[in-house]
Amino acid sequence: MPNPKPPFPAQKGLFDKPTVINNVETLAAVPLIIRNGPAWFNVHGTERSKGTKTFALTGHVANTGLVEVPFGTTLREIVYNIGGGVTNDDGTVSGEVFKAVQIGGPSGGCLTEEDLDMPLDYDNLIAKGAMVGSGGLVVMNQQSCMVQIARFFMNFTQSESCGKCVPCREGTKQMLSMLDDIIEGRGTEETFSLLEEVGNVVKKASLCGLGKTAPSPVLSTIVKFKDEYLQHIHDKKCATNNCKALSDISIDPEKCTGCTICARKCPVDAITGERKQLHYIDPELCTKCGVCNEVCRFDAIIGFN
């Protein structure tokens, strides 16, 4: 369980003795540095961030996996030269446009296209509201809803909270609730302002590293994708159609064959139409469950990503 600091672990840790806490990646480099000397290690990296870093490259990118690169390597090199470029939702590479990366693990911040040529090191990432962290690097294409992305990571960190300190325990819970309100069409300007305010309180007042960094995905998307939040709040729309509650579901008259399968499978009987005739969805009855989209063989349902 986390404790108030100071004293820090290096002063008083396990058995009340000075304690070193490092991750496996750091400890794995120690024998090599001892064997070969610091000059060997310092050949790679930048002036203030020496050596290499292993990133777990995933998301909308052609080549996923563990990628070890020198500090100072740019996002563009990692995503395009090593990762093979941004993919569509089906995994194909066909000119899909880069939107963002979430870097540093579940509590890392998001970077945008303007950051693609920034050398990755500790200082640059912190200045951008992100961090090196555990080295997670999630690539997102233009079909990604950044409000949903923020909610996804907040849900994870909230569930991982040990619950000892009030700012993290209650703050992350309230942030998750506010994100749900925005995604489900109940969000207001007050919700948006309060979300940012609570995020900053959690960041400053939490006892441990998890709580202090948990708001980062939310706070960074608020800064870099404010328009998406406001579209959800003011227009009650999600441009990517990832938020079902904000989607207008309809049937494409050019693609509908009148096969009736959507009407037969709809659990609330919201779809009507004669066989071999255009079908219609009643917006008053539709619960946006997505069953029609799943069973349609002609891609005729509009409004789902």
Across the chain, which has 305 residues, the per-10-residue mean pLDDT values are 81 92 90 95 94 96 96 96 92 84 94 96 93 94 96 96 94 98 96 98 94 96 97 94 87 95 96 95 89 94 84
Residue 290 forms part of a structural domain = yes
On whether both 279 and 199 belong to a single domain, the answer is no
Using the 3D structure, point to which of 106, 141, 176 is the last residue of a domain. 141
With CA atoms as reference, report the closest residue to 285 among 240, 232, 249, 238.
249
Which CATH number does the domain housing residue 162 bear? 1.20.1440.230
Q: The domain containing residue 110 runs over which residues? A: 44-141
pLDDT at 3: 76
pLDDT at 96: 75
pLDDT at 241: 87
- Return the structure tokens found at 140: 């997102």
How far apart, in whole angstroms, are the C-alpha atoms of residue 202 and residue 190?
Answer: 18
What count of other Cβ atoms lies within 10 Å of the Cβ of residue 246? 23
On whether both 50 and 134 belong to a single domain, the answer is yes
Residue 92 forms part of a structural domain = yes
On whether both 168 and 107 belong to a single domain, the answer is no
DSSP tally for the chain: helices H, then strands E: 12, 9
Cβ-Cβ contacts under 8 Å for 17 (sequence gap 6 or more): none
Residue 5 forms part of a structural domain = no
Which CATH number does the domain housing residue 253 bear? 3.30.70.20
Residue 64 forms part of a structural domain = yes
Residue 185 forms part of a structural domain = yes
Is the pTM value of this prediction over 0.75?
yes
pLDDT at 95: 74
pLDDT at 89: 82
On whether both 270 and 215 belong to a single domain, the answer is no
Residue 6 forms part of a structural domain = no
Supply the Cα-derived Rg of the chain in whole angstroms.
23
On whether both 255 and 180 belong to a single domain, the answer is no
With CA atoms as reference, report the closest residue to 106 among 26, 191, 172, 197.
172
With CA atoms as reference, report the closest residue to 142 among 184, 86, 182.
86
Cβ-Cβ contacts under 8 Å for 27 (sequence gap 6 or more): none
On whether both 177 and 259 belong to a single domain, the answer is no
pLDDT at 149: 97
